[in-house]
Amino acid sequence: MSIIKRLTTELEKPREQRALGTGWLSGGGALLAGLTGLSLVLALKLPGTFVTPDLMPIHETGYLRPFLHVVLLIGYGLALLSLLLSKDKVLGGTALALVVVASLLGGSQTSVSDANPTSLYFGLDFFILNVLFVGFLFVPLERFFPHRADQGVFRPEWQEDMFYYLISSMLVQVLTFLTMAPSNFVTSAIDLSAIQNQVMALPFVVQVMIIMVVTDFAQYWFHRAFHQVPWLWKFHAVHHSAKSMDWLAGARMHIIEIALLRGVTALPMFTLGFDPAAIQVYILIVYFYSSLVHANLRWDLKAVEKFLVTPRFHHWHHGKEKEAIDVNFAIHFPLYDRLFGTHHMPEGKWPEAYGVGGDPVPLGYWQQFVYPFRKSD
Ligand SMILES: [Zn+2]
Ligand SMILES: [Zn+2]
C-alpha cells in the first residue's frame, strides 16, 4: 500500500479507535506541524517562487521564524508521542520524517535564497495560512455544534476538497490576473471618475456594505445562470457534487468557474472607486463567510436568517431533494432570492442529503477538471 493510502486510512479510521491515548490525535497534530514546517521552510528558501507578495508584510514582521521554530518543536514532540502510543506507526513516522527534512533544510534559520528571482510565484504560504486560520476556527466549532454529529473532519472525499483548497491558493496569482482583466478593460475604456469620486467620499463601513450588496447582486445572476444554462451547469455541478457539507466543501469549485466568478464580482469592486482597504476587508469577509455557509454547523441563526445567508440557507442550496433544486442563489443577502422568486427555507427543516441527483460528476480533481468539456452520454 502506498504511503499516502496508509496515511489516509489511518486518519479516517473509526472514532472508537481514535480515542485519546491511541496516538491518533498526536499523530495527526504532528503531521499538520510537519507539513506546515516543511512548507514554511520551502517558502523561506524560495521566496520568489512560493511567497505571495501581498503576504510579504507578514514575512517581514519577524514573527515567522520563531513561529516556524515552535511548529517544528511541537512536531517533534507530537511525532515521538504518537510513535510511543500508536500501533500503526505511519502517522508519527511520516510526521517525524517531515520535521527532520524541514530541520535539515535549515529549519527556522533557513537563509533566504534569491537565486530564484522568478516572477511567477506559487502562494504556498497563502495556502498554509488559509488552511490554518480557517481550519482552527471551524474544526472545533463543527465538533462542538455539529449539524451531522456522525461526520468527522476526515469524512469521505476530504482529500479532494483539500486539494481544491491547495490548487486555488497556489494559483492565486493567475486567478488575480484573470480577475483583474475585465476590470482593467472597463476602466481604460470608460471614464467613471464622476462615480468614483462620490464612492471615495463615503465612510469606510458604508463602502464595505455597498460592495457586499453590489457583488451579491452580480453573483446572484451569475450563479443562477450557472444553474440554468446546461453547459455552464456542467462546470457548477462540480461544486454541487460534494456529498458532505463542511468548511472544506466550499473549496470544491471548477477553476474556470472561480476565475469567471471573481471576474464578475471584481468588476463593480474595482471600477467604482472603492477604497482598496474596503475591498481587502470584503475579501476577508467572503473567505470566512463562504466557509461558514458550507460548515457542518447546526446553528439556525433565526434572528438573522431573514437578512443574512446562514448555513441552513446554503445547505438547502446544496440539497439533493426535489424542493432544493434551483433555490437560494444568494451568498450574502436572501433578499435577492425573495425578490426573484427562488427563496426556500421550510421552518426548522434541513435537507436530507447533499449532491447532484444521479451522481453524474466523477471523483477526483483531474476527472472533475475535464468533466465539463466531455460530451455527456
Ligand atoms: Zn449552486
Ligand atoms: Zn456552495
pLDDT tens-digit readout, 341-357? 999 999 889 999 999 98
Does position 373 have pLDDT exceeding 90, yes or no? Answer: yes
Query: Does residue 241 sit within a domain?
Result: yes
117 — pLDDT class (breaks 50, 70, 90): very low
Do residues 109 and 184 both lie within one domain?
A: no
187 and 317 belong to one structural domain: yes
- Among 121, 139, 155, residue at a domain's last position: 121
Ligand 1 center to 237 CA (angstroms): 8
Whether residue 239 is found in the same domain as residue 312: yes
Residue 304: Cβ within 10 Å count: 12
Spatial distance between the Cα atoms of 142 and 340, rounded to a whole number of angstroms: 32
> What is residue 361's predicted lDDT score, i.e. its pLDDT?
93
Tell how far the Cα of 314 is from the centroid of ligand 1, in angstroms. 9
Q: Considering 103, 121, 139, which residue would you say is the last residue of a domain? A: 121
- Binned at pLDDT 50, 70 and 90, residue 173 comes out as low
C-alpha 130 to ligand 1 mean position (Å)? 23
Taking the centre of ligand 2 as the mean of its atom positions, its distance from the CA of residue 332, in whole angstroms, is: 12
294 CA from centroid of ligand 2 (Å): 6
CB 247, CB 135: distance < 8 Å:
yes
Domain that holds residue 15: 3-121
From the CA of 205, how far away is ligand 2's center (Å)?
Answer: 26
316/236 same-domain check: yes
Together in a domain, 294 and 197 = yes
Q: Is 31 within the bounds of a domain?
A: yes
Q: Which of 61-65, 263-267, 293-297, 304-308 has the lowest mean pLDDT?
A: 61-65
Residues 46 and 181 reside in one and the same domain? no
The residue assigned the cell 452580480 is: 218
Does the residue 114 lie in any domain?
Answer: yes
| Rounded Cα–Cα distance for residues 299 and 315 (Å) | 12
- pLDDT of residue 45 exceeding 70: yes
Domain check: are 194 and 332 in the same one? yes
Please indicate, yes or no, whether residues 53 and 197 belong to a single structural domain of this protein. no
Whether 341 maps to a domain, the answer reads yes
Same-domain pairing of 31 and 112: yes
Number of separate domains in the chain = 2
Q: What share of the chain is helix, strand, coil (3-state, %, to 5)?
A: 65, 0, 35
* Phi, psi torsion values for 356, nearest 5 degrees: -105, 130
pLDDT at 1: 66
Residue 368 sits in the same domain as residue 286: yes
Domain shared by 91 and 209, yes or no = no
Report how far ligand 1's centroid is from the alpha carbon of 326 (Å).
7
39, part of any domain = yes
Q: Find which of 132-136, 297-301, 311-315 is predicted with most confidence, using mean pLDDT.
A: 311-315
Same domain, 14 and 113: yes
In-domain check, residue 366: yes
Query: Look-up: residue for cell 444554462?
Result: 229
Confirm whether 41 is domain-assigned: yes
Q: Is residue 147 part of a domain?
A: no
